Each structure stands twice: as C-alpha cells, then as structure tokens.
Structure 1
C-alpha cells in the first residue's frame, strides 16, 4: 500500500510538472503605449513624431517564455507638434493615409534573458509592405498596478529600419537618410 501511494504521488508530481502555464491575455494600454520615430533632418537636427491612436493585444507566458503581439497604429493620428508637418507626413508624398490608414506590428517570437524579455521579432506592415523587424528591449517589467488592481507588463523597445524597404522614399535624393529610429513604449494590462 505504501509503495502504491508513493508511485501515485510520483506520477502526480510528474504530471503536474508536464502541465505548462497557459499564456495570459493583455490589452494594450493606450495611455502608456506610443510608437515614436526619429529621422535626421539634413544632419542639423532630428525630426520626431509619434502616433497617438493605437490598439492591440499581447499574449504572454512568462513560464513558457513565449508571447504574441498584435498592435495597430492609426497613421492619421501622427503628431509632430507642427500641424503643417503632420499634414505633409499624412500626404501621398510620405505615409499616404488615404490609401494606407494603419501600420501594424505582429509578433510571435519573444527572446528572454531569465524572466526578462530582451527582444521581440515580428513583422511591420507599412504602406502595404511587410518587413521583418526586431524590437530590442531596453527595459521590461511586470508589476501589480495599484490603481487598476491588475498586473501590467511593458517596456521600452527600439529598432532602426530602412524606410525605403516600405516604399518611404521621400527626400532620399535630397540627402535625407534611409534609416529611421523607432522607439516603442508599451504597457499592457492583464485581462
């Protein structure tokens, strides 16, 4: 009897270890999530802008070290602080908002160092073209938000892209660089 209880306990322990944690669903917090771009302006200064409207979701499994991201940015919500520049960025010269109103980042590959996310590999769709992009994390954490009474996970991520790979060629002939720095600040609330 004692041997069979030991065997039963051992089997139960092995079975419990074989069960993996399920990924948790998180909703993007639009008040703490922004995508900002930076591009040199003739080497004299840096033009910056961000997209104010966005929505999306994250699936995250810390134990399994996996995750998924799906975020959509409303290109018409571009905000540089200068209305005339915003209008030009929305025009057919650059983002062509009439034909391509959104940009989208989708990922199902997270990289970890211990429990910390260090990078996210995904696909960025802009102007109807999709290219691979790796967002490297500069910081990442999960915490219990005292106001929301829920877990929130997020971080600051960065990548440099060749904008011409998406057909964003405006100003290249004048000396504007092809490379654009993306800085993504994201927080998502556990559902």
Structure 2
C-alpha cells in the first residue's frame, strides 16, 4: 500500500510538472522593441540606423527552459535621421528593400544559465539568404506590467554578423567593414 501511494504521489507530481511546463504566447510590443545596427565608417565614426516597423511573436516556457521567437522587420522602414542616407540604404547597393522587403529572425532555441536567458540561437534572413545567428542576451527579465496588468518579458540582445555572407558587399573594396553589430531591444506582452 505504501509503495502504491508513493508511486501515485510521484506520478501526480510528474503530471503536474508537465501540465505547468507549457509555452506561453507573447506579442511583441512595438513601442518597447527596437532593431538597430552599427557599422564603422572609415575607422573614424560609427554609422547607426534603426528599423521603425517590426512585428512578431514569442513563445516562452520559463519552467521548461525553452522558447521560440519570430520577428519580422520592414526593410524600407530604416531610419537614420538623414533622408539621403536612408534612400541609399534602401537601394540595391545595400538592403534592396524593394526586392527584399522583409528581414526576419526566427528561433526555437533559447539557452539558459539557471533561470536567465543568455542566448537565442536562430536564423536571420536578409537579402533572401538565411544563415544562423546567435543573439547574446545582455539582460533578460519578466515582470508584471502595472499598465497592462499582464506579464511582460524582454531584454537587450546583440550579435555581430558578416554582411558579406548575405551578399551585402557594398563599400568593401573602399575599406568599409564587413562586420555589422545588430542590437535588438525587445519586450513582449503575454497574451
């Protein structure tokens, strides 16, 4: 009798853990999500830009230590503060926004250290080419929003990519660097 009660208790605990280990769905909050880049300019300064239109979803299971993310960025929404620079960035020389209107990052692998997300490993699609990219988490947290009364999770992430691997070769022969730093600040609201 004691063995069966112990077995029942273990089974109930395991079933309870499985039931609680479910992915929660989150929608990206565009007012707290920014996708930007930095690239050196002839070794003197850093050119920066951001994309104003982005959308996506996150699935997150803190207990099961897993997650998924799917973020799309409108390439034509690039913003640097200078119209002529933005026009060139949208051109076929660089982002070719007319031919490739969407930049996408998708992942189904979150890496944890304890309870904290440290990396999101996924695939970046840029100029029609998809390659693996790992976003490193500089900080990550979830909190109960006093405004929405819902859980919000997010953090600051970055990665350095070789733009030439995606076919973005403009300026290389003049000495522009091939490495670009991507910075992704994201907050997503539980649905």
CA distance in 1, matches of 2:23, 2:187: 17
Alignment of 1:20-169 (within 5 A): 20-169=20-169
CA distance in 1, matches of 2:11, 2:127: 55
CA distance in 1, matches of 2:55, 2:92: 24
C-alpha distance after superposition, 1:68-122 (max 9, x if no partner):
0000000000000111100100011111111000100000000001111000000
How far apart are residue 3 of structure 1 and its match? 7.6
CA distance in 1, matches of 2:176, 2:11: 65
Pair 1:161–1:7, CA change in 2 (3 A): closer
Q: Report the secondary structure of 2:121's partner residue.
A: strand
How far apart are residue 18 of structure 1 and its match? 4.8
CA distance in 2, matches of 1:162, 1:14: 45
How far apart are residue 136 of structure 1 and its match? 0.2
Question: Paired residues, what number?
Answer: 191
TM-score normalised by L of structure 1: 0.95
CA distance in 2, matches of 1:38, 1:14: 47
CA distance in 1, matches of 2:4, 2:117: 43
Segments of structure 2 that go 5 or more residues without pairing to the other structure are none
Q: Report the secondary structure of 1:13's partner residue.
A: helix
Segments of structure 1 that go 5 or more residues without pairing to the other structure are none
C-alpha distance after superposition, 1:21-50 (max 9, x if no partner):
110000000011111100000011000000
Pair 1:17–1:102, CA change in 2 (3 A): closer
Cα RMSD (Å): 1.6
